[in-house]
Chains A and B, each alone.
Chain A
Amino acid sequence: MLADYSILLISAILVNNFVLVQFLGLCPFMGVSNKLETAMGMSMATTFVLTLASACSNLTYHFLLQPLGLGYLRTIAFILVIAVVVQFTEMVVRKSSPLLYRVLGVYLPLITTNCAVLGVALLNINKDHNFLQSLFYGFGAAVGFSLVLVLFAAMRERLTVADVPTPFKGAAIGMVTAGLMSLAFMGFAGLV
């Protein structure tokens, strides 16, 4: 039981890392990794939303779509659920902790467009995860996303001072770096 969940976590964090192995959520990965501080904020917000959205979409599917025979509407339904969760989180955070709200800032609404969030929700259905498994899978995906985002941000801060040839400056060298990192993460293959 415990081993199953730890395997699920390790699989989502390292072996099937959503960014570097499954190539989901690349937009925030490239867009928000210019500074370590903002990357930290983004990863905290994403972790919270991803875990919650993964659980909510699982409930939506099993208690709303499936009984009504509307399984084919899951993509649209999940987008709606994710948007609601993000909006809800934003409202709660703004009222309860203005400081955290300021730290997260614009990144909170941006998470709606993070394809990793939708990806996790859909993969949970494909893999027949139950509620608890969905929760763990979502959390693992979020931790994996946060891990590589934060590490990548620290590396990009160093790259800004590197003597990169002009055609490769900025996003280009970022993509090359992400590719090399993806190669490195292939070493985890077979771990679970």
Chain B
Amino acid sequence: MTLMRITSPHAHGPMSTSRVMQNVLLATIPGIIVLTHFFGFGTLVNIFWGSIVAVACEALALTLRRRPLGFYLKDYSALVTAFLLCIALPPYSPWWLIAVGIASAILLAKHLYGGLGYNPFNPAMAGYVILLISFPIQMTAWAPPRGVGELPGLLEALQACFVPSTFDAVTMATPLDLMKQNNSLLLEDLWAQNAQFGRWAGIGWEWANIAFLAGGAWLLYQRIFTWHAPVAMLASLSLMAALFYDGGSSASGGSPLFHLLSGATMFGAFFIVTDPVTSTVSVRGRLIYGALIGALIYIIRVRGNYPDAVAFAVLIMNFAAPFIDHYTQPRTYGHRDTRGEE
């Protein structure tokens, strides 16, 4: 190896994988605080246990593949997967649910493909979908928000996670569930009859979405990702909702604001869709990718069997991302587009 002598000034790129991952972890904090405020300590316990399992799985995979442990563990990617999956899981999930989800995410969706950078599917969302298909009852058991139901304390939250048989889970349908099951009430009456609904969407959900939006905006300001995919996703979701919103009849799918502030919309838009590994690369590709995710979310939320659709929509579009990339390759600088000249 020849050592080159390089004279100053040195331009230094401060962004490394671990810096990016640390920033993403920091940006989830407002959302986690809001979730904890409205739904109790369940999310925090999820994250605590999920992180331990994630680091253990990552270490196991690295040992089996004879890769340097310290180097790969320090990139924080396993922790990011754990945070994202555990935020998406219902609070007060039992320990085995979290362990199965994290293990499938890290081992199956990430290390089977060669680790960070090679995985075609977003590990957290792959883990979530595997859990949702395998354990639908546990995965749709959301706790009632503060003010509607009794919130368990920290000790009870730990008990719910580690000794689930002794914990009486109080669950309640989420606003998206109610919206899907509703087929006779006007939206006004639906909101009046169910305490879970807040001003625009569900109690707790609207503020959690706003908090994730704030975290995402900070990441955007830090230039962790570009605006194209999230904006395209939110725009197409609002457009779909606006097109099919009829002012509040029983067949209505909910207003654009309801969809923007419900479920995992903002979390998905800024923390999942922007995954640099599994999304598309070019600007045009990202716009298409985001817009199709938004449309799929609306279609599955309103017409499909599952109440929230971010994980499914993201996984389906992850699958289509290489194809989109293939057809949206940007023109090389200085070359003409030969396809148009033929």
Q: Which residues of A contact B (CB under 8 A)?
A: 36, 150-152, 154-155, 157-159, 162-165, 168, 173, 176-177, 180-181, 183-191
Task: Determine whether the beta carbon of B114 is less than 8 Å from that of A187.
Answer: no
Q: Looking at the complex, which of B48-56, B90-98, B210-218, B315-323 is the stretch in contact with chain A?
A: B315-323
Q: Is B305 an interface residue (CB 8 A)?
A: yes
- The residue that B313 contacts in the complex, of A150, A154, A158, A187, with Cβ under 8 A, is A187
A177→B315 contact, CB < 8 A: no
List, in ascending order, chain A residues with CB within 8 A of B126's CB: 180, 183
Distance of A177 Cα from B318 Cα, bound (Å):
11
A189 to B316, CA, bound (A): 13
Contact of B141 with A by CB under 8 A: no
A187-B309 in contact (CB<8A): yes
* A53 CB to nearest B CB, Å: 27
Known contacts A184-B316, A187-B312; A163 and B305 CB within 8 A of each other: no
Q: Is the CB of B304 within 8 A of A164?
A: no
* Residues of A close to B312: CB separation below 8 A: 184, 186-188
B121 within 8 A of A: yes
Do residues B120 and A159 form an inter-chain contact, with CB atoms below 8 A?
Answer: yes
The number of inter-chain residue pairs (CB within 8 angstroms) is 88
List 3 tightest A-B contacts by C-beta distance, closest first. A187-B312, A190-B305, A163-B114
- Interface hit among B7-15, B34-42, B105-113: B105-113
The answer on a CB contact under 8 Å between A154 and B323 is yes
Residues of B participating in the A interface, judged by any CB pair closer than 8 Å? 65, 108-109, 111-115, 118, 120-121, 126, 129-130, 133, 299-300, 303-306, 309, 311-313, 315-316, 318-320, 322-323, 325-326
Find the A residue at minimum CB distance from B300. Answer: A187
Is the contact region of chain B dominated by helix, strand, or loop, or is it mixed? Answer: helix
- Given the contacts A181-B319, A184-B312, A184-B316, A155 and B112 also touching, CB distance less than 8 Å: no
Contacts of B299 in A (CB 8 A): 191
Q: What chain A residues lie within 8 Å of B309 (beta carbons)?
A: 187
- Cross-chain contact of B319 among A165, A184, A190 (Cβ < 8 A): A184
A177 and B120 form a contact (CB under 8 A):
yes
Given contacts A155-B319, A187-B304, A190-B303, contact A168 B313 (CB under 8 A): no
Known: A183-B129, A188-B300, A191-B303. A164 touches B319 (CB 8 A): no
The minimal Cβ–Cβ distance linking A74 to chain B, given in whole angstroms, is 33
Q: Given A177-B120, A183-B130, A190-B304, do A162 and B114 touch, yes or no (CB 8 Å)?
A: yes
Partner of B120, one of A155, A185, A186, A189: A155
Cβ-defined contact, A165 with B120, below 8 A: no
Name B306's contact: one of A36, A158, A180, A187 (CB within 8 Å): A187
Residue in chain A with minimal CB distance to B320: A151
Interfacial chain A residues near B130, Cβ < 8 Å = 183
- A162 and B110 CA atoms in complex are apart in Å by 11
- Contacts A187-B304, A187-B312; A162 near B121 (Cβ below 8 A): no
List the B side residues contacting A184 at CB < 8 Å. Answer: 129, 312, 315-316, 318-319
Give every chain B residue within 8 A of A150 (Cβ-Cβ). 323
Most buried by A among B115, B323, B326: B323
Closest chain B residue, CB of each to CB of A152: B319
CB of A29, distance to nearest CB on chain B (Å): 13
Give Cα A151–Cα B320 distance, bound, in whole angstroms: 6
Specify which chain B residues have a CB less than 8 angstroms from the CB of A164 in the assembled complex: 112-114, 118
Check B322 against A155 for contact (C-beta < 8 Å): yes
Q: Which one of A163, A177, A185 contacts B115 once the chains associate, using CB atoms below 8 Å? A: A163
CB neighbours (8 Å) of B304 from chain A are 187-191
Give me 8 A-to-B residue pairs in the complex whose CB atoms sit less than 8 angstroms apart, sorted by A's number.
A157-B322, A158-B322, A177-B120, A180-B108, A186-B129, A187-B311, A190-B304, A191-B303
Complex Cα gap A150–B118 (Å): 20
B323 touches A162 (CB 8 A): no
Determine the distance from Cα of A177 to Cα of B312 in the docked complex, in whole angstroms: 15
